[in-house]
Amino acid sequence: MFTLPSMWNIIISTIVFIIAAWYIRRLLDAHGIPKGITRGLVVFVLAYGVSWGAGELVDWAHEKVYGPEPESQTSQDLNQILKDSGLTPP
């Protein structure tokens, strides 16, 4: 299940990826670098890095505005259930 911050992260980083890939392709065209697998990989890696950075910025901004998200209690709850049922070793 996605939470609101992760949805914003996905939406914004996808938009940033598309814009960054377009800009990097345009920049490489201006420098006369021929199209090929290596160039495509360079565009992908650089656009991915910019997109990842934008996603981290969204997470950072959300944490600054709303504070850190509470940690999951799943493992502690599971340990408590096993302890209550007597299934954990002594």
How close are the terminal C-alpha atoms of the chain, in Å?
Answer: 35
pLDDT tens-digit map of 20-55: 999 999 999 999 999 999 999 999 999 999 999 999
SS3 36: coil
What residues does each domain of the chain span? 4-84
pTM: 0.71
How many whole angstroms separate alpha carbon 85 and alpha carbon 25? 60
Percent of the chain at pLDDT exceeding 90 = 53
